Amino acid sequence: MTDNELPFAFGAPPLRGRLRSTPEDFFVEEILGYEADGAGEHAFLLVEKRGANTEWAARELAKFAGIQPMNVGYAGMKDRHAVTRQVFTVHLPGKADPDWSALPSEDMKILSAGRHSRKIKRGALRGNRFVLVLREVEGDRAAAEERLAAIASRGVPNYFGEQRFGLGGNNVAQAKQMFGGRRVDRDKRSILLSAARSHIFNGVLAERVGAGQWDAPMDGEIWSLEGSRSWFGPEAFNDTLAERLARFDIHPSGPLWGDGEPPSAGAVGELERAVAARDEDLAKGLAGARMDQERRALRLLPRDLTWRWLDDGALEVSFGLPAGAYATTVLREVAATL
């Protein structure tokens, strides 16, 4: 199911417009939740890059420092067609920092440098802050503002974004080929496993959005804790769970498919198994790869969501998201983008 085929929580988006007219129209700032500790073998660099992906930046930093790319750490992959700020660590045991201001790149600059005792690990971040600008806007402005207000109070379905599935969504087809016996290298294997899990998750979430139950409890629900990968259940819905759901402390969850049976029961379990059965080759492949059965929240609440109309009629939208969430899943409920 492509991004355009996934059902909307609030109906068709009221606007159309162009996103990423320039990299500056898609600004991302990483929120680590911690600072450099001030000492150690790793340079701790806040980097701003324009129109460049994270792996390229890591290779350029390694080349400049005279080390192997494997000795450069970063917490998350950032969009290429954007201006992004994120932290990299560069392992320099027994070495002084090079002159980072002399980094020979027009697409990347070092905003600050310190020292840190550890290499940054993948996933070791709290989230990201986005500032998106939609240009050549057409549609109903009043309806768009009502939609944005609804998103601020209720959230959006927590779909995996199209970036997860590769060019033209081809990663799912490649995952099926891999599970059918095609050999792939280790890095590609990880990408294809993630795409397969994401495809099944989006299928489950799409069914619940279509039924109006993406942010409401169903029988046999597994609950995801806000800001955590932890979950619990199933257990009968009660006043305590209702209060926690209303204040976004917990969310209904969907499966990140793996080996064994999902923990859900009742109507939720039946739905999840039925969706997985539609892509039996993916589900069996993930089980054979010994992936764990894990969970992901079905609901995503953008933090500190604000918007304003610029002088040229463009719409600027700002918000924060937890790690692993996609800005495009928020914007798609407001505008169809070119």
Return the active site residues: 79
**Peptide bond connecting 14 to the previous residue in cis, omega within 30 degrees of 0:** no
β-strand pairing of 26-31 with 83-91? parallel
Q: Which two tokens stand for residue 70?
A: 């494997």
Token pair in block for residue 111: 């905003």
Looking at residue 21, its amino acid is S
Q: Which of 74, 98, 101, 69 is nearest to 88 (CA)?
A: 74
C-alpha closest to that of 10 among 149, 202, 200: 149
